[in-house]
Amino acid sequence: MNELKLKYGCNPNQDPARIYMKDGSDLPVEVLNGRPGYINFLDALNSWQLVKELKEATGLPAAASFKHVSPAGAAVGLPLSDLLKKIYYVDDLELSPLANAYARARGADRMSSYGDFVALSDICDEQTATMLAREVSDGVIAPGYTDKALEILKSKRKGTYNVIKIDVNYVPDPVESKEVFGVTFEQGRNEAKITEELLINRPTNNKEIPKAAARDLLIALITLKYTQSNSVCYVKDGQAIGIGAGQQSRVHCTRLAGNKADNWYLRQNPKVLSLPFKESIRRPDRDNTIDVYISDDDMDVLADGIWEQFFTEKPERLSREEKKAWLATLKGVALGSDAFFPFGDNIERAHRSGVEFIAQAGGSIRDDNVIETCDKYNIAMAFTGLRLFHH
């Protein structure tokens, strides 16, 4: 089959809509369940490329959580600590390496991942499907599914959950095209390989990038390769913890992603972990309330009645000073940027979120200021010489 009709395009008024192969060959995807839409397929095909490259670069199973053609999270299948299992709501599940990868990808920014499209680098197993079955999600793409996993996923959303199988041997044409306002654009595909060779040029005084940090920098760069630009990505222990996408200013990307990384770490604070939620409160409502609790310094919003709805008793405030002290313990974070940092203010913001390792293209007329700021905080930085804009 070389064509698949879709319900509609980006919006209901955009009809007709379809995906098809211009050369008449068969589509590299097979819909096993549901009826994926236009945006679903944009997310599916972009996220599949991301996890495929993560698996190739690290040798580990990989997963991504996509929303509106950018990742909300991406990760490889490293084991989870008991603490992370708790804040990701998977402490009651048996986790395979692939399930660990998706738990990390989904757990980094759970608010943004709500209603995501999921990509898995490996055949979806029962453990991963069980996790997917209880999250609010639009669909999944993977190279295959075990019989039990497919049975679980087909029962999700009253049988309408989108399940797509991708041909792992599919290789796209090296030249790609798209139309904008009736004008056809054409370019060579971005086939740049993200490897440790990109981290060789280290202009900072500190040139030490341990193996785990190098892996995290590669995860950041591969994630950025499939994130709408401008974009910045914070990574720790094999998972993105903050992604800033589609901002016009680089420092706004760094701030946005840094704020997400901070929220990820603040969720591990003992006061947050001990919030007295009522047992009936659903996970998405818990996530939203935690975000309010973390961001609301004087708790005015909670005092106006939210806490009465969600908690058995009014929680103790997490003060600005407590948050600052807690965030000061965040260390070992890796940061990637899809293009050069034009000013040292990006480094200043990154440092506040525990960044100790950076990979960026380099080539700014103010590289000396960026290097100087890194040296100020003993940050090791690599100039990759590779821009990774994605549109």
Please give the full DSSP string across 291-350, using - where no structure is assigned.
HHHHH-SS-HHIIIIIHHHHBSSPPPP--HHHHHHHHTT---EEEEESS---STHHHHHH
Domain stop point among 149, 166, 183: 166
200 neighbors 382 (Cβ within 8 angstroms): yes
The answer to whether position 187 is within a domain reads yes
The answer to whether position 261 is within a domain reads yes
Residues 102 and 188 in one domain: no
Domain stop point among 135, 166, 197: 166
Residues 226 and 362 in one domain: yes
Of 52, 68, 252, 390, catalytic: 68
The answer to whether position 237 is within a domain reads yes
171 neighbors 157 (Cβ within 8 angstroms): no
The answer to whether position 307 is within a domain reads yes
| Residue 68 is among the residues annotated as catalytic for this protein | yes
Residues 94 and 79 in one domain: yes
Residues 156 and 75 in one domain: yes
| Residue 390 is among the residues annotated as catalytic for this protein | no
The answer to whether position 185 is within a domain reads yes
Residues 181 and 42 in one domain: no
Q: In a structure prediction context, what are the per-residue pLDDT tens digits for the chain, which is 391 residues long?
A: 889 999 899 999 999 999 999 989 999 999 999 999 999 999 999 999 999 999 999 999 999 999 999 999 999 999 999 999 999 999 999 999 999 999 999 999 999 999 999 999 999 999 999 999 999 999 999 999 999 999 999 999 999 999 999 999 999 999 999 999 999 999 999 999 999 999 999 999 999 999 999 999 999 999 999 999 999 999 999 999 999 999 999 999 999 999 999 999 999 999 999 999 999 999 999 999 999 889 866 556 565 667 788 999 888 889 999 999 999 999 999 999 999 999 999 999 999 999 999 999 999 999 999 999 999 999 999 999 999 999 9
Residues 123 and 8 in one domain: yes
State the total domains in the chain.
3
Residues 18 and 91 in one domain: yes
CA atoms within 13 A on the CB side of 81: 6
| Amino acid at position 3, single letter | E
Of 67, 156, 225, 351, catalytic: 67
| Residue 378 is among the residues annotated as catalytic for this protein | no
| Amino acid at position 240, single letter | A
The answer to whether position 389 is within a domain reads no
Residues 252 and 179 in one domain: yes
Domain stop point among 148, 166, 184: 166
The answer to whether position 322 is within a domain reads no
Q: Long-range pairs for 155-162 at CB < 8 Å and ≥24 separation?
A: 156/132, 157/34, 159/33, 160/33, 160/34, 160/35, 161/33, 161/34, 161/137, 162/31, 162/33, 162/34, 162/35, 162/36, 162/40, 162/117, 162/138
- Name the DSSP class of 35: -
Q: Give DSSP secondary structure letters for 42-72.
A: HHHHHHHHHHHHHHHHHSS-EEEEEETTEEE
| Residue 230 is among the residues annotated as catalytic for this protein | yes
Of 22, 158, 331, 391, catalytic: 391
The answer to whether position 388 is within a domain reads no
Residues 216 and 291 in one domain: no
Residues 125 and 201 in one domain: no
CATH number at residue 200: 3.40.140.20
Domain boundaries, position 344: 175-265+327-383
336 neighbors 220 (Cβ within 8 angstroms): yes
Residues 11 and 125 in one domain: yes
Neighbours of 133 (CB within 10 A): 15
Neighbours of 278 (CB within 10 A): 12
168 neighbors 119 (Cβ within 8 angstroms): no
Under DSSP, is residue 254 helix (H, G, I), strand (E, B) or coil?
Answer: helix
Residues 71 and 123 in one domain: yes
Of 33, 40, 230, 346, catalytic: 230
